[in-house]
Amino acid sequence: MNLSKMNTHKILFIAIALTIMGLLATSCANDVDINTDYQEITIVYGLLNQSQDRQYIKITKAFQTEGNVIVAAGDPKNSMYDPKDIEVWLDEYLGANYLRTIYLDSVLITNKDSGDFYFPNEIVYATPIGIMLKQSREYKLNIKIKSTGRLIEANTTLVQDFTIKKPSAWQDYASFTGKYSQKVEWKAAKNGILHQLTVRYFYTDIPASGPRSSHFVDLKFGIKRASNPNGTETIIQEINGTSFYQNLAANIDLPEAGMKRYSDSLYYIFDVADEDFTIYLDINGPSNSIVQERPAYSNITNGIGLFSGRYTKIRYFAGLTPPSLDTLINGQYTNHLGFIER
C-alpha cells in the first residue's frame, strides 16, 4: 500500500482504533455496563493515489470482548470481515456524470508489521492491477455487508499533479555543496494541503566475496502546509548540504574489509495529502493542550475512518555532481564510509 506509504497506513489505522476506543470510553458512565448489545462499527482506511497502479482499502470492524482486549486484538477473527460477506467497489464521476465502476478484490498481505493487532497476515481490498485513476475525477467508495445489507459510503477527489520549479528540469545531477542552502521550489498541488519532501539517496555495496547489494537512505523534511487547496501557492524547502552528509554518516554502516562502495542515483520524493487527510491529522494528532477531549473526525457514512486522496511525484537525478561526489568521498562527515569513484 512518507507521509511514508506503509507507515502512514499503520499510524492512521492505530489512530482510528484509538479514536473509537476513546469514544466508547468517554460515553460510558461508571454505573453503565459497557458490554451492552454489540453494534457493528465498520472501520475504513483508504488513500487514493493516481500515481500508483493499484489502490488499497483497509476495511475492518470494531469488536467487543469481556476478556483481555490486547489478547482479543491479536485474533484476526474479531476485527476482520469474511471476504465472502463483503463487496467493495469505486464509482467514478466527472462532475455529476457517472463514468464507470471499479470492483476491488480481497488481497492477503503477509508482511504486516507487528503491534497490538494481529500480524503478519491481513486482508485488504485492492483494485485490479493497471486500472489507473484519473486526477480530474471524483470517486465514491461503496462497501456492502452482504449478510446484513448494510452499505458504507465515502467520497473523495484526487490530489492533482504539480510543477517542480527548482531544481530545473535540465539539471541531471543533484548538488549538496556550496556556502548557502539550496532551495527546492514547487507549485502547490490542486486539492492538496500537506506537502513533504524526502531526499532518497541510493548506493551500491560490492563485497570482496558475495553478490552486490543496493541500498538507500532517506532524508525527510518537515511538512509544509498550503493555506488552501487551490494550487496557487509556491512551496519552498531549503536543503543544507551539511545535513545531507550528516544524515548519510548517521545511517550508513562502515564498509566490510575489501568492500567497494559506489554512489548511485538520487530521488526527490514529493508527497502531498488532501484536506480531509489534513483535518483528520489535526484532530487526531497529539495535543499540546491539557484539555485532551476533542471531537473525532471521520468522513465515512455509516462507518468511521478516513477515505481521501494523496499524490506522490518523483524527481529523478542520475547521481551527485562531481563536487558533491568529492565531498562524499573526502568530506569530514562521510570520508570514513568507504565510497570510491567508479
Find the distance separating the first CA and the last CA of the chain, reported in whole Å: 36
With contact defined as beta carbons under 8 Å apart, do 203 and 252 qualify? yes
* Residue 136, all three cell numbers: 480530474
pTM across the whole model: 0.82
Kindly tell me the burial class for residue 17, based on how many C-beta atoms sit within 10 Å of its own C-beta (0-12, 13-18, 19 or more): buried
Chunked mean pLDDT (size 10), the chain, 342 residues: 44 43 41 56 93 93 60 62 95 97 91 54 90 96 95 97 95 88 94 97 94 96 95 95 96 95 97 91 66 72 94 97 96 96 90
Q: Where are the chain's structural domains?
A: 5-158+274-307, 164-272+313-337
Nearest one of 53, 57, 41 to 9, comparing CA atoms: 57
pLDDT for position 30: 45
pLDDT for position 66: 58
With contact defined as beta carbons under 8 Å apart, do 63 and 79 qualify? yes
pLDDT for position 247: 97
Sheet holding 234-239, edge to edge: 164-166, 182-187, 234-239
Cα–Cα distance for residue pair 244/103, rounded to 1 Å: 44
Helix, strand or coil, per DSSP, at residue 205? strand
Cα–Cα distance for residue pair 16/182, rounded to 1 Å: 38
pLDDT for position 67: 57
Cα–Cα distance for residue pair 73/17, rounded to 1 Å: 11
